[in-house]
Chain A
Amino acid sequence: MRKTVIRSAAAAILVLCAGSFGSHAQDASEKEIERYREMISDPMSNPGYLAVDRGEALWGEARGTKNVSLETCNLGLGAGKLEGAFAQLPRYFADADKVMDLEQRLLWCMQNIQGLDTKDVIARRFSGPGRASDMEDLVAYIANKSNGMKIDIPLSHPKEQEMVAVGEALFYRRGGVNDFSCATCHADEGKRIRLQGLPNFSKPGKPAQETMGGWPTYRVSQGALRTMQHRLWDCFRQQRWPVPEYGSDVITALTSFLQKQAAAGELNVPSIKR
């Protein structure tokens, strides 16, 4: 008995060694990234907080044909109430009769409260060199008001349940020239693509909580604050799918499904990632 235990322990160590030999480079770079993350995770040095400040100014700025600010926009918890709103999105909005994520809701408020033509706002949905994004800045500001709170999307309305159910079906829907779905990369434990670790979103738990609790984020490699809209746009690009429409239902359905898997995860945003 004891011998078997020792033998299997030795075998386990061998397996571990074989595994760590190949992933040595990953460990080293992961450690470096972790160290870097710690260095810049301080709000005073995370450039994502510049977006938070810009978002705050945009929230209070009178715009559109009605020349009013967004301050009466209801993000689910009451007109103008921002604390905790992001932790409970996407959700159903009776006035629009639709489940919306934060971006969809902001566009709705711009159109309906401010009378703002959102064509230009949508054209600048993703920032680039010399091109600021109102949406990224507003999301950074509003999401930051849920810091320290737990992800908890409402699921009592039938349309909210539908969103999550469709989101799950879409998570497993394969397509594109490579037959890829979200699940191809995100339905198993401890896998990686090249050296990049892949969180498992097929079940509720820590990988989903840590991921969803860290978006929006400042992407160092892109020098920009990015939201889940951009993250999923980039996933579809790598999946070899067509360009997804900004602020559309597939994105919201997947976000709802991911939020459900991430339930009780704590928000700390904007975070900073490579």
Chain B
Amino acid sequence: MKRVLTLAALVLAAGFSTTAASAQTAKAPNPALVDAYMKSTFGKAPPEWQARIEPDETLKTCNAYHNEVPSAEAEKITAREMARVVYPADGKFLGNWKEGAKIANNGRGGQFSDPPDTVSGGNCYACHQMEQKEVSYGTLGPSLTNYGKDRKYDPQEIKNAFTKVYDSQAVFACSNMPRFGVNKVLSEQQIKDIVAFLFDPESPVNK
């Protein structure tokens, strides 16, 4: 009888440890295993396309924590990404807001269905409200209506906005927002134009 109980306890213990082990695997399967899956699905893509889905140090951390990074890791990310921001040599952050408005509305570029020479847009409206009269805006990011006006067109805020668009993770670790400058999705001039769309007093964002 005692033996049966011991056996039962052993079986139970084994059961528990399996549960614990599978819970662990569920959180973080072996990276080599995930890579094997990736290879079976994307292994025939051109090398430059495969390079794009190879996570850098920052994304490796974001992936491992499902974007909810502890503060020590977050500091490492923002420091690393801040070092990647290239500010305009002429020291000017504001471009043409009318061009910026077009970039904010343009969602083309970077898809395998796009012709390779497509000029990418920022696709800002996919996630943000910007000018009041555009009703087709997404809500994944905060509303940017009156962005410049609310910040009193402060020069430091203008520089911060350039930083944020150039490399969102220099400001917020594991931000959902693309790193437009670092990943070369947008040119320096395009980023200046978007910053102008946010900060020019004549821009409809501030009307």
Q: Which residues of A contact B (CB under 8 A)?
A: 22, 24-25, 161-162, 164-166, 168-170, 172-181, 183-185, 187-188, 190-196, 198, 236-238, 240-245, 248-251, 253
Contact = CB atoms under 8 A, between A and B. Distances in A.
Contact of B41 (A178, A180, A193, A250): A250
Contacts of B139: 190-192
A178 B183 contact: yes
7 contacts: A25-B135, A172-B67, A175-B59, A177-B184, A190-B139, A193-B127, A240-B52
Nearest to B46: A242
A173 B34 contact: yes
B28 interface: yes
A184 to B, nearest CB: 5
A264 to B, nearest CB: 19
Contacts of B138: 191-196
A161 B178 contact: no
B83 interface: no
Most A CB atoms within 10 A — which of B28, B62, B112, B140?
B112
Contact of A161 (B22, B38, B179, B185): B22
Contacts of A243: 45, 112
A190 B140 CA distance: 9
A173 B63 contact: yes
Interface in B46-91: 46, 49-50, 52-55, 59, 62-63, 66-67
A269 to B, nearest CB: 25
A248 B178 contact: no
A66 B43 CA distance: 32
A180 B53 CA distance: 10
Nearest to B137: A194
A195 B113 CA distance: 22
Contacts of B120: 177
B63 A169 contact: yes
B155 interface: no
A30 B55 CA distance: 37
B156 interface: no
Given A176-B53, A177-B52, A185-B140, A164 B40 contact: no
A196 B40 CA distance: 31
A248 to B, nearest CB: 4
Contact of A172 (B40, B41, B66, B111): B66
Given A238-B111, A242-B42, A250-B42, A166 B49 contact: no
Contact of B29 (A169, A188, A192): A169
Contacts of B36: 249
B125 A194 contact: yes
B63 A172 contact: yes
